[in-house]
């Protein structure tokens, strides 16, 4: 039996195998060393990133609380109630009730606030809602900004009973910008705990806050509220030198940890993150072993396969490699001559490669065609979407417009009637309702026909539009009846407006197309003023309209002219 090492092919295979094994061992060792350094660098970077992220989210949390308070302070209910909180009688009781109801609504929907307080500009409490425990005397004034009383602020941590809390305050002003008070809110520091969670470091990491006196504001797990932070461990051996120092050391509980600290400038606090050393480097240890073993196994297997195939496939594989490189660089229709190799296996591989190349060319062409079709379809969908949006806007306008008179319709009147009654209740501005009905409209409709009746309604709508103000809401209530909401108008003004409408209609010639008709077109008008009861307002106005008709028509009758 011949010694395989005597042949050139055997020696080449042995040399390739030996070189591959040595290379594999060298690559594995270098990979392990590089991975160890890389992962150690990553551990040193994760802590500052986590601290920066928590500090940023904490700052955004406080900014959001201030913005929420500013929105609440601008609420119309509070700004209107503050001047009347100290008043006696029903006005004062009503103002206090409305303000307290709104503040309780805020507390129910924003649990991060434990107590809300309205005070005078100098810090004297007017109304408190929420936590019943009394605030220390002078605490509101102490928490208010001194350099700029009209600015918003959040105080440092204040101890109250067994809790640490902060007091946020924002100014309150009337409609012309004059200060009328401040809105305060107490924030328990326990609300910060969800923001201090570090998902990227795992559950074993401790994140806590210390103040300039090294007191824990949010204590680490297992420590009491009176514990004091000892910072001697931060001088331990650094993992990575940089802007933020990350060290491993023995902490105040004598546990070997990896830790870092960063400033929280808003209140002069510091954020401290600590994690047991073993937990921080657990992924490193396990990854090193797996990578080393897997790398060595893969290289050994590949080297064995490569040496077995080297003798008979060097040249064919070279040709295949060159063709594959051309294909990977984007060249299409790359094919190899299938008759140039004597080995059946090589010929099969060559045919497979050629089929794959042709398939890739077909797929590339189909992808281009599909991409063009998708772009065309997307452009068409955008056009159709724009058309649909325009149609929706038109349909929305048509749904609240009377197609004959171009006035708002009955649906719009019901919505506006409810809205304006609520607004009048809040602002105490007067609101009047005027109902207008054409006298003997059936007679005109029968005499002139439906087309003539429709023309009268259109022309009457034009006359009414000329009589009312831009702020008034004129609608066609139904049939020959029109409804007018006169904003900021008392009963006397509404009666005058109704008389103006009546006279304008009487003076108009609505029968220009029928010269033989001498009889004038007139309207009856009913007027009432809002007194807090929406249903009563409409009932009174409708009764006044019917009284105008029963009294001979072509007149204005107010709700005060007859029995309710």
- How far apart (Å, rounded) are the C-alpha atoms in residues 156 and 160? 13
DSSP reduced 3-state for 400: coil
The structural domains of the chain, with segments of one domain joined by +, span 74-192, 410-561
Is the CB of residue 264 less than 8 Å from the CB of residue 209?
Answer: yes
Residue ranges in 430-472 assigned as alpha helix (H): 441-467
Domain 410-561, CATH among 3.50.50.60, 3.40.50.2300, 3.30.70.270, 3.30.1360.70? 3.30.70.270
Q: Cα–Cα distances in Å, from 236 out to 232, 233, 260, 473?
A: 8, 6, 11, 76
Q: Which of 188, 135, 151, 137 is nearest to 166 (CA)?
A: 188
> Of 552, 549, 560, which is closest to residue 525 (Cα–Cα)?
549
Please work out, in degrees rounded to the nearest 5, the angle formed at the alpha carbon of residue 212 by the alpha carbons of 209 and 213.
100
Q: Which residues contact 555 (CB under 8 A, 6 or more apart)?
A: 502, 524, 525, 548
Cβ atoms 104, 129 nearer than 8 A:
yes
Token look-up 């006359």 returns 463
CATH architecture assignment, domain 74-192: 2-Layer Sandwich (3.30)
Are the beta carbons of 5 and 11 closer than 8 angstroms?
Answer: yes
Is the alpha carbon torsion for 433, 439, 440, 441 positive or negative? negative
pLDDT tens string, the chain, 564 residues long: the values are 555 555 545 566 666 667 766 776 676 667 656 655 665 666 667 778 888 888 888 889 889 988 988 898 888 888 888 888 877 788 888 888 888 898 899 889 988 888 888 888 877 888 889 877 777 666 676 667 766 777 888 888 877 767 778 888 889 888 888 888 888 888 887 887 777 776 667 777 778 788 777 777 776 666 665 666 765 445 445 554 544 567 777 776 778 887 788 888 888 888 888 878 777 766 656 665 665 666 667 656 655 665 555 555 555 656 667 767 776 776 766 667 666 555 566 666 677 767 777 777 777 778 878 888 888 888 888 887 777 767 766 666 667 788 888 899 899 999 999 999 999 999 999 999 999 999 988 888 888 888 888 898 999 999 999 999 999 999 998 888 999 999 999 999 999 999 999 999 998 877 655 544 557 889 999 999 999 999 999 999 999 999 999 999 999 999 876 544
What is 162-212 written as a DSSP string? Answer: TEEEEEEEEEEE-TTS-EEEEEEEEEEGGGGGGGG--TTT-TT-EEEEE-T
Q: Helix 282-328 and helix 344-399: axis angle, to 10°?
A: 100
288-342 pLDDT, tens digit each: 566 566 666 765 665 566 555 555 555 565 666 776 777 677 676 666 766 655 5
Total Cβ atoms within 10 A of residue 106: 20
Positive or negative torsion for Cα 537, 538, 543, 548: positive
Give the DSSP letter of residue 401: B
Q: Which of 400, 432, 418, 426 is nearest to 498 (CA)?
A: 432
Closest CA to 187 of 134, 110, 119: 110
What residues contact 160, with CB distance under 8 A and at least 6 apart? 133, 135, 136, 186
Question: Comparing C-alpha atoms, which of 191, 241, 213 is closest to residue 48?
Answer: 241
Please, which residues bridge with residue 206 across strands? Answer: 274
**Integer Cα distance of 497 and 473 in angstroms:** 13
With vertex at residue 418, the alpha carbon angle to CA 417 and CA 421, rounded to the nearest 5 degrees, is: 85
Radius of gyration of the chain (CA): 42
């Amino acid at each position: 039996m011949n010694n395989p090492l005597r042949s050139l092919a055997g020696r080449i295979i042995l040399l390739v195998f030996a070189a591959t094994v040595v290379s594999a061992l060298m690559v594995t060792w270098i990979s392990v060393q590089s991975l160890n350094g890389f992962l150690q660098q990553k551990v040193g970077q994760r802590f500052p990133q986590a601290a920066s992220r928590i500090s940023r989210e904490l700052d955004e949390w406080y900014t959001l609380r201030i913005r929420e308070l500013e929105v609440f302070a601008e609420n119309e209910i509070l700004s209107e109630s503050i001047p009347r909180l100290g008043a006696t009688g029903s006005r004062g009781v009503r103002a206090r009730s409305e303000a307290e109801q709104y503040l309780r609504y805020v507390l129910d929907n924003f649990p991060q606030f434990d107590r809300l307080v309205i005070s005078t500009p100098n810090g004297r409490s007017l109304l408190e809602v929420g936590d019943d425990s009394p605030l220390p005397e002078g605490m509101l004034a102490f928490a208010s900004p001194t350099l700029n009383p009209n600015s918003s602020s959040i105080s440092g941590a204040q101890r109250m009973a067994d809790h640490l809390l902060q007091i946020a305050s924002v100014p309150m002003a009337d409609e012309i910008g004059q200060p009328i008070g401040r809105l305060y809110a107490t924030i328990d520091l326990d609300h910060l705990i969800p923001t201090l969670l570090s998902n990227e470091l795992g559950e074993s990491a401790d994140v806590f806050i210390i103040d300039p006196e090294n007191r824990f504001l949010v204590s680490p797990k297992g420590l009491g509220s009176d514990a004091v932070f000892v910072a001697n461990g931060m001088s331990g051996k650094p993992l990575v030198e940089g802007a933020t120092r990350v060290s491993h050391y023995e902490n105040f509980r004598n546990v070997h940890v990896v830790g870092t600290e960063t400033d929280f400038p808003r209140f002069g606090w510091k954020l401290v993150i600590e994690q047991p050393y073993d937990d921080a480097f657990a992924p490193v240890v396990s990854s090193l072993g797996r990578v080393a073993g897997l790398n060595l196994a893969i290289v050994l297997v590949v080297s064995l396969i490569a040496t077995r195939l080297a003798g008979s496939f060097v040249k064919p594989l070279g040709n295949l490699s060159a063709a594959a490189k051309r294909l990977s660089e984007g060249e299409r229709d790359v094919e190899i001559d299938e008759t140039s190799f004597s080995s059946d296996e090589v010929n099969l591989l060559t045919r497979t490669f050629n089929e794959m190349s042709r398939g890739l060319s077909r797929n590339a062409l189909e992808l281009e065609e599909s991409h063009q079709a998708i772009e065309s379809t997307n452009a068409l969908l955008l056009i159709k979407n724009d058309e649909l949006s325009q149609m929706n806007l038109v349909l929305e306008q048509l749904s609240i417009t009377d197609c004959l008179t171009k006035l708002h319709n009955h649906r719009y009147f019901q919505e506006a009637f409810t809205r304006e009654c609520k607004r009048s209740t809040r602002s105490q501005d007067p609101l009047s309702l005027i109902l207008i009905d054409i006298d003997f409209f059936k007679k005109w409709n029968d005499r002139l026909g439906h087309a003539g009746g429709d023309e009268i309604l259109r022309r009457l709508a034009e006359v009414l539009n000329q009589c009312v103000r831009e702020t008034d809401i004129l609608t066609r209530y139904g049939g020959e009846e029109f409804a007018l909401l006169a904003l900021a108008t008392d009963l006397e003004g509404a009666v005058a407006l109704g008389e103006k409408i009546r006279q304008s209609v009487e003076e108009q010639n609505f029968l220009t197309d029928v010269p033989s008709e001498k009889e004038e077109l007139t309207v009856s008008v009913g007027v009432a003023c809002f007194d807090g009861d929406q249903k009563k307002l409409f009932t009174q106005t409708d009764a006044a309209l019917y009284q105008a008709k029963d009294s001979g028509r072509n007149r204005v009758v107010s709700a005060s002219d007859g029995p309710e």
